[in-house]
Amino acid sequence: MMAWLMAGLLFTPLAWAVMSLMAGFRAGWRLAWLGMAVQGLVSVLLWLAIADQGGFYYALGDWPAPLGIELRVDGLAVTFILLTATVATACGLHAGVYLDPDKPWQRYFWPLFWFLWAGLNAVWLGADLFNLYVGLELISLSAVGLVALGGAGDALRASLRYLLAALVGSLFYLLGVALIYGQFGTLSLGGVAQLAEDHTALAGAGIALALMLAGLALKTALFPLHGWLPPAHGIAPSPVSALLSALVLKASFYIAARLWLALGETQGSYGVAQLAGALGAAAVLWGSWMACLQPRLKQVVAYSTVAQVGYLFLLFPLTWQVSDQISQQAQEGMTLQVISHALAKAAMFLAAGNLVLSTGSSKVEDLAGVGRFLPFSLFSFGLAGVSLMSLPPSGGFAAKWLLLQATIGSGQWWWALVLIAGGLLSAAYVFRIYRASFQEASGQDDFHHPPRRLEAIPMALALLSLGLGLAGEPVLAIMGLPFEEDG
């Protein structure tokens, strides 16, 4: 049973990639329906299974670690798998309608989409440092391919920048892995963590950890390494932007978080923790500020991603040598922030795509009067904005609340100011969009109405992200499912 669930998560997306490469765009879409249903089903079944019997290590090919590759199937992984199933399905459904099936290059969309999904699942479940590297590369290359798909000069430039940044990040990570393997003689994260507990404060391991975190920070677009993100996320077709912002970025952050939680306490240092937090804080402020200045709608959303990702890095100072309870709060806050940002940002990009489609312009100022014609997409955008501003009852608020508690509890009150200021700054750019759309129209009246489904999907995502705060406790319960080291 468990083997089939693993296969469902890891191998079926790959199989779907192969099959949709053989098919054209339309057939690929029909295939995708089935594939998304399978993924959803498998994810839920895995959740139920974990809820029933607790988390465990799964050895692929029956070769246990450290010889073989192990998967760590725990509550956090299941949370992310469920999140991926939700968001990727939404983006897939949107893409099927949104993309023009007659363009010859669109047939390659589905294979890349499925490869991306396979990579994401591999990363969520991965517990082997090198396997995570391969998973990251799978994600990066398919993401680059999606950005570049059929693109003109600007898109190519964006995707090249993205490719180079992603590769440099991966190499930093891999160099760190090389040092870790040299130090500990194993690639399994669990094994490394165990050894690290017996041998604390190894200089080499600390440097290796810093290298890996630096590479992952570059891939997560942490300020000031974020330069590649806005062009890539801003120029890709909206469903792709949504996927990139909602899920792809989170993959590298997820690895960084896992590494930090496993090794940070023993091999990290106060300086690294505070530096990560400080850069995150700078990202929050700088990203929001830049988002206020962007002339193009999707660039605004892209810079907002830079800002929102910054919050995640507060995890580092808030879990380093603090009490278990505070660390727990910070981790829960981080998880909720990832989920709510994924849902809200996907909703926002998809809604932005609809707005662009409807006004025929990508400029913010051309939104004037659209409020009268497209209130539904605008409303989705707004609801997602509520989550980004972290107002209650959204998931963003719940995340911020937990992070605030962790900052106050650990006495690092300066991060609380960042959290508050970030919320206000994000309000500034979200309200900038509202403001533009409330403007009474100067002539422009030829709005094009996108199909109903395109409007319904961002709305559903936005509502999910808004309601996440209300369901905070059950969602966090998934993450907190018990894990048995030798199950």
Binder of another protein out of 434, 447, 449, 483 (CB under 8 A): 434
Rounded CA-CA distance 285/306 in Å is: 10
Least distance (Å) from another protein to the CB of residue 456? 13
Three-state secondary-structure class, residue 71: strand
**Residue 14 interacts with another protein (CB under 8 A): yes or no:** yes
Q: Are 467 and 89 in contact (CB under 8 A)?
A: no
Structure-token match 């990203």, residue found = 287
Most distant CA atoms of the chain, gap in Å: 71
The separation between CA 116 and the C-alpha centre of its own chain, rounded to angstroms, equals: 12
Q: Give the span between the Cα atoms of 207 and 211, in whole angstroms.
A: 6
Least distance to another protein from the beta carbon of 234, Å? Answer: 9
Q: Is 28 in the site for another protein (CB under 8 A)?
A: no
What is the chain's percent helix, strand, coil content, to nearest 5?
80, 5, 20
Q: What is the nearest approach in angstroms of another protein to the Cβ of residue 215?
A: 8
If binding is defined by CB under 8 A, does position 270 make contact with another protein? no
SS3 call for 296:
strand
- Site for another protein contains 487 (CB under 8 A): no
Q: Binder to another protein among 178, 275, 285, 463 (CB under 8 A)?
A: 178
Among residues 15, 38, 44, 285, the one that binds another protein under rule CB under 8 A? 15
56 in helix, strand or coil?
strand
Contact letters for another protein, residues 297-336 (x by CB under 8 A):
-x---------------------------------x----
| Chosen residue from 25, 124, 172, 316 binding another protein by CB under 8 A | 172
Query: Would you count residue 289 as binding another protein (CB under 8 A)?
Result: no
Contacts of another protein in 393-422 (CB under 8 A) = 393, 398, 401-402, 404-405, 408-409, 416, 420-421
Question: Would you say 64 and 127 are in contact if contact means Cβ atoms under 8 Å apart?
Answer: no
Q: Are 261 and 322 in contact (CB under 8 A)?
A: no
What track of x and - describes contact with another protein for positions 343 through 372 (by CB under 8 A)?
Answer: ----------x--xx-xxxxx--x----xx
* Positions in 240-269 near another protein (CB under 8 A): none
CA distances 399 to 86, 318, 339, 465, Å, are 19, 13, 9, 11
Q: Which residues does 454 contact at the CB level (< 8 Å), separation at least 6? A: 94, 97, 98, 350, 353, 354, 357, 377
* Cβ atoms of residues 75 and 55 within 8 Å: yes
- When asked if residue 486 is in the footprint of another protein (CB under 8 A), the reply is no
Locus of tokens 């082997």:
128
DSSP string computed for 55-69: BEEEEGGG--TTTS-
Residues 464-483 that bind another protein (CB under 8 A): 469-473, 476
Quick note: the x/- pattern for another protein over 126-165, rule CB under 8 A, is: ----xx-xxx-xx--xx-xx--xxxxxxxxxx-xxx-xxx
Give how many residues touch another protein by CB under 8 A. 143
Q: Does 458 bind another protein (CB under 8 A)?
A: no
Site string for another protein, 206-245 (x = CB under 8 A): xxx--x--x---x-----xxxxx-xx---x-xx-------
Query: Taking CB under 8 A as the rule, which mask of x and - marks residues 52-81 in contact with another protein?
Result: -------xxxxx--xxxx------------
Rounded CA separation 355/437 (Å): 10
* Least distance between another protein and beta carbon 105 (Å): 5
